[in-house]
Amino acid sequence: MTVTVEERFAIHDLYAEYAAAIDEFRLHDWLELFDEECSYRIVPRENFAAGLPLALVLCESKDMVRDRVVALLEANEFAIHTDRHLVSGIRFRGRTGDVVRVDADFAVFQSNSEGEGSVFAFGQYIDEVVLAGGRARFRSRVAVMDNSCVPHAISTPI
């Protein structure tokens, strides 16, 4: 399994832009990081490990991701926190044509309206990335949350 230098950078840039788009609340930009054919899920680690289908968030098409963006932008009037994603350990697991299996690790910190911060979530991304025309997009992203017992509801994407 091989990725070229350019492909490796395109994938790293995708991961960096994904985090920034959420943390800067540019959700339309976030949407455009997904391929036309895509899925997005947030799954508790124990469910993922057991092969159980239950997801905290489940979008099985780009239209479902788009609906989520619309809902989040409407809910934003009541936004009471901001997110900060840290991502490391990007690793290449396999390749089928232009689709690369990629894993990575994430931690999300949140700050509330009082400026108080804490660790919100951490876990693993399990992804399929499509490479086309020098760009990388998510065919599928599964965010597996280690700490499924989160202190409050998940609203913004992970």
Binding site for a second copy (CB under 8 A): 5, 8-9, 13, 15-17, 19-20, 23, 44-46, 82, 84-92, 103-107, 109, 111, 114-119, 121-124, 146-149
Nearer to a second copy, 25 or 61 (CB): 25
Cβ atoms 33, 138 nearer than 8 A: yes
Q: Which stretches does DSSP call E strand in 3-150?
A: 34-44, 57-59, 81-96, 99-112, 117-132, 135-145
Nearer to a second copy, 2 or 63 (CB): 2
Nearer to a second copy, 98 or 117 (CB): 117
CB of 37 to a second copy, least distance (A): 25
CB of 83 to a second copy, least distance (A): 8
Distance (Å) of CA 27 to CA 60, 69, 72: 18, 6, 8
CB of 16 to a second copy, least distance (A): 4
Nearer to a second copy, 74 or 116 (CB): 116
CB of 105 to a second copy, least distance (A): 6
Burial status of residue 97 (CB atoms within 10 A of its CB: 0-12, 13-18, 19 or more): exposed
